Structure 1
Amino acid sequence: MDTPQEKPHAGPRPAALLGPVEIRQLAEELDITPTKKLGQNFVHDPNTVRRIVSAAAATDGDDVIEVGPGLGSLTLALLDTVRSVTAVEIDPRLAERLPRTVADRAPDHADRLNLLRQDALTVLPADLRAAGAPEPTALVANLPYNVSVPVLLHLLAEFPTITRVLVMVQAEVADRLAAAPGSKIYGVPSVKAAFYGTVRRAGSIGKNVFWPAPKIDSGLVRIDRFPGGEEPWPIDARTRAAVFPLVDAAFAQRRKTLRAALSGHYGSGAAAEDALRAAHIDPGLRGEKLGVADFVRLAGVVR
């Protein structure tokens, strides 16, 4: 008599990702009309969110912080892959609905979700601890376009545990973040992002994967933070406080030479020239010619 064969143990079921129909149904249920003020454009293409997770090189060892999860498109894709997702949502209706969406569409992964109902620009490590959420190892998000750069820089500053970033932003902003010294679009965001690690463009995203479709294309930006102990300069608050005001001053009036642009920072043009020459930087250059290492050297920061 044949012995009944045991069925192999089934693993967790993958999340049911959101498509255009589901996105519209959820928005209608919540009486939500995407607002420009909050930078809301909801991704409705499952292939796009899978692509973002792949570009982030997310693994089951990652604890991800996601800003602006909206209706949950990217959240569901992340929950399929990573150890945990801490979603930061400012819109109370979206924040209230997200856990139910996850429970409905990714029931086997619902325990991986943590939710913070607040402005991402105010999130601190203490907020995650209070919510029982782990320190993030990665930032993966479709950032609200109106505050994308401030949110990115805030989270990099507050969470040194973030070793990897993959964010979707306006194409123009993506280009600026990844720009190299000497280019016309190189500026403050370029230098400040490069302060933390290696920045590169990781792809382009068209308009039609969103609802409503924005008027411009989007871009993916990847940042790999310098490995701990191998940073070319100290990545800490003291260094940041010394370097970032120099960056702001150097680009405040792009056409000015560094001697002129930094005269206010140092108290006079002569003092600015002395500081620049001491750092082996030509006072006649403009800020766009300096890399982040030059600004660090000018700030006098050493290990």
Structure 2
Amino acid sequence: MDDQQAALLGPADVRRLAEELSIRPTKKLGQNFVHDPNTVRRIVASASVTSEDVVLEVGPGLGSLTLALLPAAGAVTAVEIDPALAARLPRTAAEFAPALRDRLTVLEADALRVRAADFPAPPTALVANLPYNVAVPVVLHLLAELPSLRHGLVMVQAEVADRMSARPGGRVYGVPSVKLAWFAEVRRAGPVPRTVFWPVPNVDSGLVAFRRVEPPSSAPRAEVFRVVDAAFAQRRKTLRGALAGWAGSAARAEAVLRAAGIDPTTRGEQLRIADFARIAEAAAAEDAS
């Protein structure tokens, strides 16, 4: 094996490591371990990771994706909530990629609670097989907390991938689609078959790629997101009705919408993130007058 390469985990390796750690994958933690080397190679290639990148991996599990990232990245910081998995990962790197082991840092932490100061170097890329039940909150938290993150590729449940990458007007366009658009351009990057996981999940998976963009507005993000949450809390209502609680009344909601140049009879799923920002700006201007 080349010094700058890593041996990758196959099905037998995954089961051996799981047995060694007495791990029985749980639905609660969304644990489905990838055991197909070609899949992790494809993920790393699709993520466009270079030696200039400090990669953040969330939920590395037994290390299948970690081992594929080490030769491609300048450094990898893996955030793992499970103490047993976090403790084993450096030894797995030493076993399968001895020349690259120093590129790996493992943080035993909850990805929903990590802060920029927790990282030895600012991460530039997020590449992860994310637990299905927390995928969107994790990505939103990391993009907000780590301005150094410029691009990424995550594997999530196919349905979640559709929502993350949806465009205005689509049936699944909603809060995740709009909030992610504040931070980044998001797109689907292909399907992932169930058979590459152990245990085999009962859902399909998909890859979602993102590249950071400048926010569409100088309005406070929290205020814009309050508008987004209100607009989609009652999807069937027009914005005049859906934003009534947020604005204080339907009449004020209509006035703010008209000031923002938005038809009050429109529904939330028709608006882009920039439109929601204009609503927040219009409300702030009215409050200030």
Q: Residues of 2 paired with 1:233 and 1:53: CA distance?
A: 32
Structure 1: gaps spanning 5 or more residues: 1-9
Q: TM-score scaled to structure 2, two decimals?
A: 0.95
Q: Residues of 1 paired with 2:35 and 2:143: CA distance?
A: 28
State the 1:253 CA deviation. 0.8
Q: Work out whether 1:162 is the aligned partner of 2:153.
A: no
1:100 counterpart letter in structure 2:
R
State the 1:299 CA deviation. 1.2
Q: Work out whether 1:98 is the aligned partner of 2:89.
A: yes
Q: Residues of 2 paired with 1:52 and 1:240: CA distance?
A: 31
Q: Residues of 2 paired with 1:152 and 1:77: CA distance?
A: 21
Q: Work out whether 1:36 is the aligned partner of 2:27.
A: yes
Q: Residues of 2 paired with 1:198 and 1:251: CA distance?
A: 21
Q: Work out whether 1:279 is the aligned partner of 2:257.
A: no
SS at match of 1:200: strand
- The alpha-carbon distance between structure 1 residues 120 and 244, as it changes in their structure 2 partners (threshold 3 A), is same
State the 1:11 CA deviation. 6.3
State the 1:297 CA deviation. 1.2
Task: State which of 188, 191, 212 in structure 2 corresponds to 1:225.
Answer: 212
State the 1:80 CA deviation. 1.1
Aligned residue number for residue 241 of structure 1 = 222
Q: Work out whether 1:254 is the aligned partner of 2:245.
A: no
1:278 counterpart letter in structure 2:
A
Aligned residue number for residue 77 of structure 1 = 68
SS at match of 1:203: strand
Q: Residues of 2 paired with 1:75 and 1:264: CA distance?
A: 46
Aligned-residue RMSD, C-alpha? 1.4
Q: Work out whether 1:265 is the aligned partner of 2:246.
A: yes
Structure 2: gaps spanning 5 or more residues: 285-289
Aligned residue number for residue 176 of structure 2 = 189
Q: Return structure 1 stretches of 4+ with deviation > 6 angstroms.
A: none
Q: Residues of 2 paired with 1:191 and 1:106: CA distance?
A: 40
Q: Residues of 2 paired with 1:207 and 1:85: CA distance?
A: 26
Structure with the greater alpha carbon radius of gyration? 1
State the 1:173 CA deviation. 0.3
SS at match of 1:223: strand
Q: Residues of 2 paired with 1:250 and 1:55: CA distance?
A: 34
Q: Residues of 1 paired with 2:270 and 2:2: CA distance?
A: 54
1:120 counterpart letter in structure 2:
A
Q: What is the number of residues matched between the two proteins?
A: 283
Cα contact 2:186–2:209 (8 A) shared by 1? yes
SS at match of 1:38: coil
SS at match of 2:50: coil
Task: State which of 125, 149, 153 in structure 1 corresponds to 2:136.
Answer: 149
What CA deviation, in whole Å up to 9, does each residue of 1:121-155 have, x standing for no partner? Answer: 01001111xxxx21000100000111111101000
What CA deviation, in whole Å up to 9, does each residue of 1:203-248 have, x standing for no partner? Answer: 100100000010011010011101xxx55434xxx62111101000
SS at match of 2:22: coil
Cα contact 2:158–2:203 (8 A) shared by 1? yes
